[in-house]
Structures are given as C-alpha cells and as structure tokens.
Structure 1
Amino acid sequence: MTKNRETGTHRVLILGAGYAGMAAAIQLAARGRRREDVQVTLVNAQERFTERLRLHMSATGQRVAELSIPELLEGTGARFVRGWVTAVDADAKLVRIDDHQVLHYDTMVYGLGSVADTAAVPGVEDHAYTLNSAQDAELLADRLAGLGRGTVVVGGSGLTGVESAAEIAEQYPELDVVLLGRQEPGAAMSPKPRAYLQAALARLGVRVLSGVEVVKVLPDAVELAGGELVAADAVLWTSGTRVSPLAAAAGLTVDERGRVVTDATLRSVSHPDVYAVGDAAAIRQGYGVMHGTCQGGMPTGVHAAVSIVRALDGRRPKPFRFGYYHTPVSLGRHDAVVQFTHPDDSPRRVYLTGRMAARYKETVTASPWPTYGRMKKMPASGAFWPRGGRFTRGAR
C-alpha cells in the first residue's frame, strides 16, 4: 500500500461512526498503535454514538446511555473529526467535510449507513417522525408525552415497526397504536414464533393492518392505496431505507439501491482503495446480498480493518464470510421473541419467547461499548472476534 510522501504515513479515513465504522476504527487503532506509519481518522456528523437498537426506547421517553465517540477513541491514537461528509472524490482520494474542510486519504472505509426512506411516499418528509438518530427519537418522545389520548400510526410492519409499536403501546396504554404494512408482522418467522409475536401485539392493544400500502401521509392521517384514511395524531415511519447518494456521485460502482458493490474482501469493485462496510455496502455471500442489520455491521467493520492491516504488511486480504444466527425482536420491556436462523437468514425450528427471550435479546443487543473497549486493549498482533449473539458467525 502507498504512503503519503510528505508524512511517510498511510492515511486511513473512515466515514461514519455507526456499528461498522466504529468497529473498523477501534480495530485499526488497536492493531496499528505500535506503528508510526498508519494514521486513522474517523469522521461523523455528531460526537454522540447512536445506538440504533435502542432508539425505539428513546422514542418512548426511556433513558439510555449517552455514549461519546471521542471518549471511546481516547488513548487509541485515532483522530476524530466532527462534520457532515458533503462530497467524495474517489479518483483524487479526498473527502469534503461541511463543504470547507478537505481530508485526503490513501485508504477509505465507507460506512455512512442508511436512514429511513422518507422520499418514496409523499408527505412522509413533512409529517412523519423517524428513528434515524437519537435526536429524531427524542422529538417523537416529546410528541408522545404531550398527546394524552390519540392515535399513533406506525408505518412499516418490519422488525423496527413491530418493536416501536409494541414499545409505544406498553409505555402509553392510553394511546391507540396502529401498525400497518404490506406484510403481516413477523412474516419471515416460522409459524409458531410468528403467532406468538402477533398475539403479543394484540395483547398490548396494537391494531394491525397488513396487506395495505400507504400512498400519502397527511398532517392528521395516512392515506391508503384504496383511498381509505387512517386518522393519526402522530406517524412514525419505519418502512424502507435509503443510503447516501455520495458513493454514486463519487463514481464508485453501486447497486440499484446506491450501495457500494464490493468484492469478496469488502473492497469496492471499481476503487480497490475503498472498503465499504455495514448498510452502505452491497456484500454478496453464497446465499445472496446481505441485508442491512447490526448483526452483520460490526463483523464487516472488523474484517475491513484486518484486511487493511494485512495489505499494509504485504499480505493479501482474505474473503469475508458471514452467516446470520438469529432474529431477536423485543415486544416491550419484558417480552420478546427470538427466531434462530440458518446462515442464509431463513428460519430454523428453534425459537425463544417471553421473559427468557427478553433476557436473551437484552444480552445480545447490549451496548457495544464494552466490546469496543476490549478491542482497544487487545494485543496489536492478536486476533479479536466478538462472541455470542449477533456476532457469532463471520470472517475470522
């Protein structure tokens, strides 16, 4: 790998401090702390780390830890730059931050992730809440706290929608919670855990409308494809995601959703000095392209870091291998369902429900901070791979 002629260092620039980006930064810093020829810089729009797995809790006014990215990076030698990435020039190997700051790199890790798709349906951008950040969740929490009585519509019957609807119904039993989407909740699960999930929603008072499509969000309602209006005092939008257009604008090869297409080692197929991780990457495995999930996010970040170090040492990066293990879904604070899966994410016969499932889910989705902390302390030449729960399978 090349080095900067002026400083003699290899500059690694990581865009995005989500689960994948943070894992890449900590792994690189840990493995390179005894090297003076590697400079690691992490860029993120805010200093606070977003625990996306807990945003449905923040949205209902529950307190969660505020985790500081600069504090975690202390002592690692990695540099943190706060700002919005406004442009990427993959040919010139530079990135613009807030339009006025320019950062150059020799290797880039692209991990800007995804957000709720608020552009696909008219009115969502103007009238619906999202769970893209802690600030977004807090805005919804303020709205829910001030409603008293009323109707909350959760648009999207995927796992985020299910968890959010259950949380809102449990924390605010006086509200009428409506969960709507094209598929029935838990559609990807086997029959028994799916039935348990749907019974739990009914027990919480969540009204489910499946097989429907929202065509417009209004200030006080959502309009369905058949013209029916569902009254809403607040709308939470969880249906679909989109990625930043920056990768496509930079000339990187992307798929139809704008995700960076990678080779087997997570490098861009068009720009080998760029690694793509997490939701920002279209990573193909034997069973197909990985879908965005925290379960796969951290392993991609770890693998990218290890691959960069191997390349710096003159060794070839190894292919990334990942298999899914489970789908844990919280149904309020004391109930959950966990569907164990085959590596291709298809359901197995094994599942957990109730309080045992809730304890399991809380364990495997606990704050990543202890995991990142252990990464910081690992020997520079050692190997690290998170064990248990959502990080059980992956490249080693």
Structure 2
Amino acid sequence: MNRIMVLGAGYAGLAAAVSLAGRTTRRDDVQITVVNAEERFTERLRLHQAASGQRLADLRIPELLDGTRVEFVRGWVTGVDPAARSVRIDDERVLEYDRLVYALGSVADTAAVPGVDDHAYTLNSAHDAQLLARRLASLGSGTVAVCGSGLTGVEAAAEIAEQHPALDVVLIGRQEPGSTLGPKAKAYLHGALARLGVRVVGGVEIVKVLSESVELAGGDSVAADVVLWTSGVRVPPLAAAAGFEVDERGRIVTDAALRSVSHPEVYAIGDAAAIRQGYGVMHGTCQSGMPTGVHAAVSIVREFSGKQPKRFRFGYLHAPISLGRHDAVIQFTRPDDSPKKLHLTGRRAVWYKETVSSSPWPSFVRLKKFPSAGSFAWRRGGRFTR
C-alpha cells in the first residue's frame, strides 16, 4: 500500500489532496490521508471581510472529500519523524506515511516586534477574524491601526473603513501602500484609500505595540483602540525541529520538483516551502500555492508509475486587491511579479476579483471531477500562471 499523507488543508494542501484523489481513483494500492486542525476550510483571501463583520460561506473539507476515498483526520500536528516516516497529532495518535506532502502554511509574525502577541489581533484564522469583528462591533468610535502596508494590510484597512465608517482607520508600514504596483494602479489605490478615509502613515518602523498605541522608531507613536497586525509571516518550527533542511525563515528547502532536498520522500508546498525559480524564491500566495499542490500530486503519481517528477516552473499573472466590496484594483504582472502596464480598476476589477480569483472552492470541486484538466491552473509556455 502506498500511503500518502497531506499535512494542512489550506489552498496548497487541499489542491494536492483533491488532485491526488482524482488521479488515483483506479488504483487500489493508494491510501490518502489529510490532516488539518479544523473541518472548516479557511478562506484566507476573505478573512479581511470576516474581520469587518461579514459572514463567510461555511465550507467543509470532509464534504469536499466525500466520495474520494480520502481519509480526513482532524488534529494539530505536533511532530514529524522523517526517519520513522510518521506524524504525531495532538491526541497522541501516530500516523505513518510513505510519501508526505507538507503544507502547514504560515501565520502572522507576531514575535518580530514586542507587544504584538499581547495587544494585536491577527488574520491567521477564521476564529481570529471573528474575534476582531466582535471587538470592532463594540466600538462606537475610535481608532483602528492596521500594521503592515502590504496587500493584506491594504485590503483589511479598506474593508474595515467601509464597513465601519465611524472608526478612524490608520494604515502603518515601512513602505507606501501598493509599492509593488505600476504607477497608475498605485495612484488609484491611494485615491481609493483616501475616499474611504484611511489615513496612511508610511515610511516608518514599528518598534513596539502597547495596549493603546503603536510606537514608532524615533519616538513618535500612533494612538489606537485596536491594533491589527499584518506585517510579515513566519512558518511553524515543526520542519526545523524534525530535521528537514530549512532556510533562514524555517521553510523547507526543495529541489526543482518540490521535494525536500534532505528527505526526497517529502514534498513541501505553499508557504511552508522555499521554492526557487529563475527570478528568486517564490513568495507565498494562493496564486502560487495551489499550483504547487497540483504539481506535487502529479509528481507523486509519476513516481508510482516509475517515472521521474518534472521540474516545477511558475510565473505570476496578477495582483488582485479588493478595496472594500465596491472597488478593487488588479495589477497584471510579468512572471517574476513585476508590474505590467495593464491594470483594471473599479467595477471591472471587482468583477475580475470575485469571478477569477476570490475563491478556489469551485476549482477544487472541478478538480475533484476532472483532475487532468488542471482546472484552476492553466499553462503557458510550461508555466503555471494562476
């Protein structure tokens, strides 16, 4: 029996599991297990909506996997033993594998700055987003500081400002919002934030978070009733503790086919992996994570057939950014994620984001039925581009 275990059922892990299930339906010698802390699928792309008080769809992983022969195990992974090829979960069960797909993702880096763990909210999970939503709903007025001016921070600040117009929303970060966009898309983003009343404090370094303020380098501070932390991510220490070769951020270093360079029976995908392409190491997004999951599935099936896995090649396509429920900006990119001239704004951008990139769930369903179609990932010149 070929025992395949997928750790984590986020975008990358679930893409791997569903693709594996579809590609092994005619094999009686394959057993697939998915381990995840929750039964509910976390739409991380929509957590900023949940944080602002909106209700998200209740998407259940076991329901998606129903009829696929994939076993779902609910539990927190507490340890991996690559020598024994086993995984331990929080109820002390030990699960064995022959092939492992490591997709445990990343969380907000709350350890980088003093006080973040004690005083800031995060968007690590639906539960975290709901905690923030309840806090925001209890404020009649006040200031919300969103720390981190990357795309997650921008989307969260815009969503909160739109849903809670009585609150003063401040977006704080080292870089100006939209720094990776082209000039016109960046200008539109800044105009949208201004229309929503979001104050931007850019070019600053956050040195400490207190219960009622965010302290900046140089002695300045921003008063805040609520702090949301979106600046930087970190991965669980499990991979390093297990003895996998990891990079300086704790991500598993992979070969060209996404296998661990120290343990080739392990595929590392999504945010948990340091995947090098010609333009550098990929940064974690749904856009890049899901193709890594499909590639791992295809490669494992190839190995079962006595073939060598192929090289993973990926190019970015776009940077979709919601600016509340009624506005958005889409920056189309080159494969290395640098901006092209082409971009969409306003209603066209809202349609694009909601139709093309807002939720992978329909793609998972299609992939379950038609695994060889690629579903959510199409290829151009050999590269996954979505």
**Fold agreement, TM-score > 0.5:** yes
Q: Contact 2:378/2:384 (CA < 8 Å) preserved in 1?
A: no
Q: Which amino acid aligns with 1:285?
A: Q
Question: Percent identity over the alignment?
Answer: 72
- Which of 95, 105, 122 is residue 113 of structure 1 equivalent to? 105
- Counterpart selection for 1:159 from 151, 156, 174: 151
Matching residue within 81, 86, 92 for 1:100: 92
TM-score w.r.t. the length of structure 2 is: 0.97
Q: Offset at 1:366? A: 3.1
Deviation readout 1:42-75 (Å, 9 max, x if unpaired): 0001111000000000001111101101111100
| Cα displacement (A) at 1:218 | 0.5
| 2:358 paired residue number | 366
Equivalence map 1:201-216=2 (5 Å): 201-216=193-208
How does 1:29-108 map onto structure 2 within 5 Å? 29-98=21-90, 100-108=92-100
> Pairwise CA RMSD of aligned residues?
1.5
Q: Judge conservation of contact 1:86–1:99 (CA < 8 Å) in 2.
A: no
The 3 A distance-change label for structure 1 pair 81 and 323 is same
**2:331 paired residue among 319, 329, 339:** 339
Pairs aligned (count)? 384
Matched, 1:260 2:227: no
> How far is 1:86 from its partner?
0.3
Q: 1:324 aligns with which of 312, 316, 319?
A: 316
In the alignment, what sits opposite 2:215? Answer: 223
> Which among 103, 114, 129 is matched to residue 121 of structure 2?
129
Conserved? CA contact 2:291–2:377, under 8 Å: no
Separation in 1, partners of 2:383, 2:351: 21
Aligned to 1:4: none
CA distance in 2, matches of 1:387, 1:47: 25
Question: Deviation string for 1:332-357 (max 9, x for gaps)?
Answer: 11111111000000000111111111
Q: Offset of 1:383 from its aligned partner?
A: 4.2
- Partner of 2:259: helix, strand, or coil? coil
User: Which AA in structure 1 matches 2:149?
Assistant: S
Residues 207-238 of structure 1: per-residue CA shift (max 9 Å, x gap): 00001111111111111111122111100000
Amino acid at match of 1:306: V
The DSSP-based 3-state class of the residue aligned with 2:239 is helix
Select which of 243, 250, 263 maps to 1:251. 243
For the residues of structure 2 that align with 1:337 and 1:145, how far apart are their CA atoms?
27
1:384 has 2:374 as partner: yes
Alignment of structure 1 residues 175-190 onto 2, 5 Å: 175-190=167-182
Is 29-38 or 52-61 further displaced after alignment? 29-38
* TM superposition score normalised by structure 1: 0.95
**Structure 1 stretches of 4+ moved >3 Å:** none
Counterpart-to-counterpart distance in 1, 2:205 and 2:126: 28
Aligned residue number for residue 139 of structure 1:
131
Q: Aligned partners of 1:239 and 1:367: how far apart in 2?
A: 23
SS at match of 1:183: coil
Contact 1:87 1:99 in 2 (8 A): no
Task: Answer whether contact 2:120 2:209 (CA < 8 A) is retained.
Answer: yes
**Contact map agreement 2:255 2:261 (CA 8 A) in 1:** yes
Give the structure 1 partner of residue 293 of structure 2: 301
Distance 1:324 1:384 in 2: 16
Cα distance between partner residues in 1 of 2:279 and 2:129 = 34
Name structure 1 gaps, 5 residues minimum.
Answer: 1-8
The one-letter code matched in structure 2 to 1:176 is D
Task: Give the distance between the partners of 1:270 and 1:385, measured in 2 at CA.
Answer: 32
Q: What does residue 24 of structure 1 align with?
A: 16
CA distance change for structure 1 residues 358 and 110 in 2, over 3 Å: closer, same or farther? same
Question: Where does residue 6 of structure 1 map in the other structure?
Answer: none
The superposition leaves residues 336-385 of structure 1 with CA deviations (integer Å, 9 ceiling, x where unpaired) of: 11110000000001111111111111112232221111111126xx4424
Partner of 2:384: 394
Where does residue 375 of structure 1 map in the other structure?
367
Q: 1:49 aligns to what SS in structure 2? A: coil
Deviations along 1:114-167, one digit per CA (max 9) or x if unpaired, are 000000011100110000000000000000000010000000000000000000
1:99, distance to aligned residue in structure 2 (A): 5.5
Residue 237 in structure 1 maps to residue 221 in structure 2: no
Q: Which runs of 5+ in 2 are unaligned?
A: none
Whether the 8 Å CA contact 1:324–1:393 is kept in 2: the answer is: no
Distance in 2, Cα, partners of 1:174 & 1:88:
48
CA contact (8 A) 1:325 1:393 kept: no
Counterpart CA distance in 2 for 1:165 and 1:269 is 39
Distance 1:393 1:75 in 2: 31
- Which secondary structure does the structure 1 equivalent of 2:353 belong to? helix
Query: Per-residue displacement from partner, 1:178-213 (whole Å, max 9, x unpaired)?
Result: 000000000011111101101110111000000111
Separation of aligned partners in 2, 1:141 and 1:383: 39
Residues 65-95 of structure 1: per-residue CA shift (max 9 Å, x gap): 0110111110000000000000111111111
Determine if contact 1:325/1:343 at 8 Å carries over to the other structure. Answer: yes
